[in-house]
Structures are given as C-alpha cells and as structure tokens.
Structure 1
Amino acid sequence: MPWTGPFDRSQARGDALDGALGHDRPVPTARSLLDRVHRVITHAREVTDHPVLEAVARIGLVAYGVVHLLIGWLALQLARGAGGADADQTGALQTVAGSPGGLALLWLIGLGLGALALWQAGEVLLWWHGLLDATHRRRTALVCARCLTKAAVYAVLGVTALLFAVGADYQADERLRELTGETLEVPAGPVLVAGVAAGVVAVGLYSVARGVTGGFMKDIDLPAAPDRWEPVIEVVGRIGYAAKGIAFGLVGVLLWRAATSADVSTATGLDGAMTAIAGVGAGPWLLTGVAAGFAAFGVYALARARYPDRDPSS
C-alpha cells in the first residue's frame, strides 16, 4: 500500500464519514479557493473601474488641487503677517465654507475625495496576485502600500470636508495635540509618539525624493497629455512635492520634540509647521517659498485631474 501523508489521511477520514452519513461533500482545493477570490476581485475591479466612479474621482482630484491652492494662499497671508484661517487643510476647508455656496462645495469636495479614495484603492485589486509570487512579493507590497496610503490621505481629507459640511467643529492641530497628550500618558506612549514622528519625517523625505526623481509623473497619463504641457507639469510637480516634503518633515520634527520633552504644546500639524517657519529669521521669505510650492502642487493636482493615472508603477 502506498504511504499516505497527514493531509490525505484526514481527508480520507472526512470522506469516509461523509459516506457513512450519506453526504456528498466536495472538497475545496487551494486552486478553487484562488479562483473564487479571483472572481470576486474581478467583479470589485469592475466597480472601481466604472466610468462614473472615475468621473467623480476626477472631481475629487480637482478638489484636492483647490485645497492645496488655498493652503498656499493662506500660507502667503501668514508670511505677510496677516491673520486669518489656519494655513492647513482645515483652514482651506473653512475658507470654502465661508464662500458663496460653501455648504454645497463642501459636500462636493467630501464626496469627490471619497470616490477618489475608492478609485485609488481599487488599484490594489490589480496587483494583489503579485503577493502570491515570492519573486514579486516585495515590489507588489510597496505598490499596494503606496496606493493605500494615497487612498487614506484622500479619505481623511474627504471625511474632514463632510464634518465641516454637517457643521462639526474640527481643528486638525487641536485634535493632534489632544491625541498626542493622551498617548504620552499611557505606558510606552513617548515611544509610540516618537515612532509616529519618525513615520511623518519619512513621509516628508519620501515626498522630497519623489519631487527630485520625478516619480510623481507616473500618476499622469502621459500619452494623453500634450507634449508641450509635460515639462510644465513636471516643473510644478517637482516644486510642489519638495515644498510638501519640507513642511511635513517639519511636522514630524515638532512631533518628535513633543515625544522627547513631553511638551504637548510642540505637537502640531501643518499650520504649526507653517508658523514655525514664519518665526525664524528669514521666515517670511522661506514661508513665501513654501506657499508657492503648495500652490504649485495644487496646479499639478489639477493637471492630474485632467490626465489621471492611478497606477504608481506604470
């Protein structure tokens, strides 16, 4: 009699029991399970590829660009010493809320960014099978992580817009400071805050590197874009990503100071970073440059809305 492995013996016992009970149970195989998963993902991919979702996602990209243009404008006002709304995402949304038709615009921004988050996350459905291949697993994991990170950024901004639309009072800097203070009070809290700070700094460095290398051009459908516009898109993208990287890197540094000194007042978001830049010797000039960079990123986002490509590895 040929030898039977553990899996085969257990399966044989199950078949014998089913036969005794009069059951005819099909035994699922790994291949059949993968086929089922593939069918489900194929259907989900059809949803995320639907032209209607892409059209609404383009609205989200336009909203994303406008928010950055507004952040640039608010940062410029801060550089000139003028008071007003915070120079961050919530300040930009507050500016939208105070404009004519602001409530409708907030709903449009929120829903558009939500669709954009779903559309961007849908790219993972194309790459997931690479996780099953050991030779491509690492690269696929990085691609999926980038897609999901972008989707999370869009989703958070979209939810913030919807909170403003329903009349909720939300301040990003205050909420970050509260969360930091609560975290510092728990065991190993400073370590957790320091870890988050290191992550934010890493994101800032990645943004700068993306601007230096021009990797952001993978998010533009270059064959559809006119050749004469490609250099313009690349220049504004480089400036925009560099400015965002510097600002968010500073956010991480301030958060790190909060973790090492237990001083929650140093924990701040983008507006706090803008204020810190304005407070140094050549602050107004530096902040003017950062403001121009955020405005440049807004222009790049509008170009991406016109010629979108969600695949970061194309």
Structure 2
Amino acid sequence: MFNKLFGKTKPKKTIEDEESVLPDEHSSTDQSTPSSGHTPIKEEDLKFYQGGVRERFKPVVKWVGRIGFVAKGVVYGCIGVLTLTNLSGAHTPNGSEGNESPQGAFLLLGGIPSVGKPILVIMAIGLCLYIIWRMWEAISGQGCDATFSKKKNFFRYRLSPFVSGCVYIVYAYYIFQMLAQTEQEQQESASSQQFPASWSKTKLGKAGVGIIAIAFVIAFFTQIINAITGNFIKDLKTSEPDANKYEAFIVHLLGRIGFGGRAALFGTMSGFFWDSLARQNESGNKNMVAAAMAKLSTSGGGRFFMGLIGVSLVIYALFAVLNSYYKYFPSPPQSRVTYHTNKTVNPEED
C-alpha cells in the first residue's frame, strides 16, 4: 500500500530477467574457457569455412603437412648453402652459383648428376602437399583462437597461410617448368633479368615496386616477432609441460635463430626494392633475391651479415624439417580453445 502511495511499485520480473540469472556455460566464471566476444556456434551448424579441419581429415592433414615441411626445409637449406658458397667462392652446378634464391635452390638440386630430375619431381610433390596444407588450413580457419579478435584470427590463420600458399604455388610452377627445359633454359628462366628496374621507369611501376617493398617490410616484422616472442612454440609438442626441457630448449632456439634469419632475408629484400626506386636495380642473370644478396657482398660488413643470413637459413631449414615431427598438424589454437565453438581441444589426442 505504501509503495503504491509513494510511487515505489516493485517492477515485476520479466522472462528476460529470469533468464539472465541462469548460469551460462560460456560465462566468465568458467576459467577454462576464455570469452571470445561472440556467440559460439554449435558444431553441427558450422559451415565448411568455420571450425577448422574436420575430424575425419586430420590424419590426412598430418601427413600432408609433415611432407610439405620437409620440402620447405630443403628449399631454405639450399638457399643457405648457396649463400655460404657464394662467400667462399665454391662452385655449384647448373648455374646455381651466386643465385641464392628459391630458383637457385632448384637449379642446384636439378644439377645433381643422374638424380637431378627425380629430385625435382619429389620436390614438386612435396611443395604441392605444403600448398594443400596451407590452403586447407586457410579456408577452414584452422587455429582460430577464442582469445583472439576476429581481425587477428583473420590475419594470422587465414590471410597468412593463404599468402604463403600462393608463394609456394609459384615455386612449384617453376619446378614443373624446369622439368621440361634444358639446363640453359633453366638458368635463363631462373633470372629476373631487368626486374625491378623495368618497373621503375613509370609511375605505376614505381608504385608496384613500393608495394612489394612494403610487403617485405611486413614479412620482416612478422618473422622478427616470431623470433623474439616465440609465438611458434605453442604449435609444437615441446610446449607441453611434460616435454623434455633440454630438447625443448634446443628446438625453440633453432626456431628463434631461423625466424631471425628469415627476417634478415626479408629485410634485405625490402631494402633492395626501396633502393630500386632511386637506382633502378636490375637482377641480370640472377633471381631478384640473389640480386638483393649481392648488394651485401660489396663491403666487409655486408659480407659478414651475408654469412649470418646463410648460417641462420641453414638452421631454419633444420628447424623446418624437425617440424615434421614436433609440430601439431592441424595447427591448434594458441589458447587451445576454438574460436567458433569455444570448445577446448587437446592436440595431443590427435
């Protein structure tokens, strides 16, 4: 009665109010499941581009990824070896001498007497499997993490593997092209000739060179962040609490040094393209990567830096090959909680 007189009528509870006090399985009180900032989707309602690689395909993805990483390691190992042989003056076959690039790596492998062609066929198959693994994970959003924003998940688990897959498509195409060529034709197609100077003669071409330079700057920062923060470690079995600490230390150190070497290589490439806007650099009979590395060989400090890149790329090659054993396939979320379903996953079970 008094409430009615003084206008303090107690509001009735609505259905919405009662539902709001019910426990939510994805609420912040559940410490094991971080909030993703979005409404989880039921597994049966997921689209083909959501929720990652399906359970029935995981064994296939595992072996596709493993073989692909071995092929990737061989490519970087050859680039590192070619860099070091360039410094030492040692001879390498099939015009690969002084061509420290993926194309130079394929020239080196294809120039091995008697077994060059079969090795290139095996490399083509390995790189195609690596492409399939990267594209499969990019399309399915494998690795998307409940603790990451939608934008961060897109760049890390969709755009990054897609771009990587596109790069290796070019490499695989080059190998298939080499298989139908003579040694002379292989060496000619491995060179970038007048590029990037040929682009630097027009405003549109200069804009293209600038975009490539910026792309390599971005690549530099992504690799150096991996080297410093060790973001890659959560994708490895050595990140688990029960892993051997000495084994983990060695694998993680190899990864940090290797990513640092890739960062140095991409930084060198970026500098080469920025310099090309002013000097109109030509690659000549080398690939553009080798032309960029050749810029370092003109001074004592540059040659020392070039040597560091060569050694670190060989180390990265070893790390990539070790990934075929230590890496989780498919890639798990960093927090082990999936983005779309907020489901906790245990990569050890796969």
State the TM-score, normalized to the length of structure 1: 0.75
- Tell me whether 1:141 sits opposite 2:135 in the alignment: no
Residues 253-285 of structure 1 deviation map (CA, whole Å, 9 limit, x = unaligned): 111222244454599622122222222123333
- Where does residue 302 of structure 1 map in the other structure? 321
The structure whose RCO (Cα within 8 Å, separation 6+) is larger is 2
Which residue, out of 59, 65, 70, partners 1:57? 65
Which residue, out of 237, 241, 246, partners 1:228? 246
Question: What's the CA shift for 1:152?
Answer: 2.3
- 1:258 & 1:284 partners in 2: Cα distance? 20
- 2:218 & 2:227 partners in 1: Cα distance? 14
Residues 169-227 of structure 1 deviation map (CA, whole Å, 9 limit, x = unaligned): 3667733x555355445552212211211211221232122212112324434349754
Pairwise mapping of residues 54-203 of structure 1 onto structure 2 (< 5 A)? 54-84=62-92, 85=96, 86-99=99-112, 100-127=114-141, 136-143=149-156, 144-167=158-181, 169=186, 174-175=191-192, 177-178=193-194, 180-203=196-219
- Where does residue 216 of structure 1 map in the other structure? 232
Residues 15-47 of structure 1 deviation map (CA, whole Å, 9 limit, x = unaligned): xxxxxxxxxxxxxxxxxxxx9994555899449
Change (3 A) 1:40 1:198: closer
- 1:43 & 1:219 partners in 2: Cα distance? 17
- Tell me whether 1:280 sits opposite 2:293 in the alignment: no
- Greater CA drift, 196-205 or 292-301: 196-205
Which has more radius of gyration? 2
- 1:108 & 1:56 partners in 2: Cα distance? 14
State the TM-score, normalized to the length of structure 2: 0.68
Corresponding residue SS for 1:169 = helix
Change (3 A) 1:60 1:289: same
Corresponding residue SS for 1:122 = helix
Corresponding residue SS for 1:193 = helix
- Where does residue 15 of structure 1 map in the other structure? none
Q: CA RMSD in A?
A: 3.5
Give the counterpart letter for 2:191 in structure 1. E
- Greater CA drift, 230-239 or 200-209: 200-209
Question: What's the CA shift for 1:299?
Answer: 0.6
Question: What's the CA shift for 1:76?
Answer: 0.9
Corresponding residue SS for 2:196 = helix
Question: What's the CA shift for 1:298?
Answer: 0.4
Give the counterpart letter for 1:165 in structure 2. L
- 1:129 & 1:218 partners in 2: Cα distance? 11
- 2:200 & 2:131 partners in 1: Cα distance? 31
| Greater helix proportion | 1
- 2:200 & 2:90 partners in 1: Cα distance? 34
Equivalent residues of 2:233, 2:252 under 8 A apart = yes
Question: What's the CA shift for 1:313?
Answer: 4.4
Question: What's the CA shift for 1:158?
Answer: 2.4
Corresponding residue SS for 2:66 = helix
Specify every segment of 5 or more residues in structure 1 that has no aligned partner in the other structure, as ranges: 1-34
Residues 94-132 of structure 1 deviation map (CA, whole Å, 9 limit, x = unaligned): 1111224221221111121111111122223443897xx
Question: What's the CA shift for 1:79?
Answer: 1.1
Question: What's the CA shift for 1:62?
Answer: 0.8
Which residue, out of 318, 327, 331, partners 1:311? 331
Give the counterpart letter for 1:77 in structure 2. T
Equivalent residues of 1:172, 1:269 under 8 A apart = no
